[in-house]
């Protein structure tokens, strides 16, 4: 999932939370919204910053890649 996709998902969860009729459901939806908003902010920060550091290529690839590709890349790196 890309940064913009996380942002869109966060907006959707927040909108759904505002329409929830049950406090428990609202709480769960808001937690999901917060997670996606945080991931969107991390991606935006990584891509907007100076990408010349030692982890630049990794951040650029992870922040802009679909979640499945990012996960597979991390798993492969963990095996090294």
Say what the pLDDT of residue 71 is.
47
Q: Which residues of 16-48 are buried (b: 16+ CB within 10 A; e: fewer)?
A: bbeeeeeeeeeeebbebbeebbebbeebeebee
Q: Give the helix ranges, DSSP H, for the chain.
A: 3-19, 23-48, 56-64, 67-79
| pLDDT at 18 > cutoff 80 | yes
| pLDDT at 5 > cutoff 70 | yes
Q: What is the pLDDT of residues 24-79, one digit of tens each?
A: 999 999 999 999 999 999 888 877 766 666 677 776 776 666 655 554 555 565 55
Domain ranges in the chain are: 3-78
Say what the pLDDT of residue 26 is.
97
């Amino acid at each position: 999932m890309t940064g913009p996709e996380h942002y869109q998902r966060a907006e959707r969860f927040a909108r759904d939370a505002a329409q929830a009729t049950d406090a428990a459901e609202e709480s769960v939806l808001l937690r999901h919204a917060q997670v996606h908003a945080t991931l969107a902010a991390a991606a935006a920060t990584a891509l907007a910053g100076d990408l010349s550091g030692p982890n630049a290529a990794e951040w650029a690839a992870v922040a802009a890649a679909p979640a499945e590709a990012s996960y597979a890349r991390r798993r492969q790196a963990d095996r090294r």
